[in-house]
Structure 1
């Protein structure tokens, strides 16, 4: 796989993971904890794919196959780091919404 395609995979999978994580927060806010958890699972899968592409680049570099560092590669890394952060925060938000709904005695779909 060429460098540009690998970079685009990181960007695309990371963007999908970020979007799924944000949607998970919305579902949890509206009381649909099951759907929120499913979206977080899907976000984890997308992040795994992005991480697999990143690991390929890191492994190649560790084996002496140097690639040029481009603005696009930096952009991909930025997307991945932000997606991981948002997914981690989304996990916390979903947990928090579940606790809030439980404390209020509000029925949630779970």
Structure 2
């Protein structure tokens, strides 16, 4: 496996880990454990930052190359972007759901 593939797999791995944490948080909401949900969402966000760093490194490499030496866009790279994007979306939505449910319980 080459360096590019390792970086792409890091994005996939970190995004998957982040999304798992977000859905663990969702389960905490069902139990009205909002503190636990927020803790898991914070962990998810920290993991997303690691995926973002790997993504940014790939973007930086692509921008520093010229013409024919550009990084190839592969199905694996597209798959990584999809995982990263959906992990962020899941986390953002679950954060909002946490806010809504917690505010309804406080009233």
Calculate the TM-score normalised by the size of structure 1: 0.89
Gaps of 5+ in 2: none
Aligned pairs for 1:1-110 within 5 A: 2-64=3-65, 66-103=70-107
Structure number having the greater helix percentage? 2
Root-mean-square deviation over aligned CA pairs: 1.2
Residue by residue, what CA displacement relative to the aligned partner does 1:71-97 show, whole Å, maximum 9, x if unpaired? 110000000010111111011011111
Deviant stretches of 4+, over 4 Å? none
Shift of 1:29: 2.1
Distance in 2 separating the partners of 1:91 and 1:100: 14
Would the aligned equivalents of 1:13 and 1:47 in 2 still touch at CA under 8 Å? yes
Would the aligned equivalents of 1:11 and 1:80 in 2 still touch at CA under 8 Å? yes
Match of 1:107 in 2: none
Distance in 2 separating the partners of 1:93 and 1:31: 12
Gaps of 5+ in 1: 104-110
Calculate the TM-score normalised by the size of structure 2: 0.91
Residue by residue, what CA displacement relative to the aligned partner does 1:34-87 show, whole Å, maximum 9, x if unpaired? 110110010001100000000000001111162111111000000001011111
Distance in 1 separating the partners of 2:93 and 2:80: 20
The number of residues matched between the two structures is 103
Match of 1:106 in 2: none
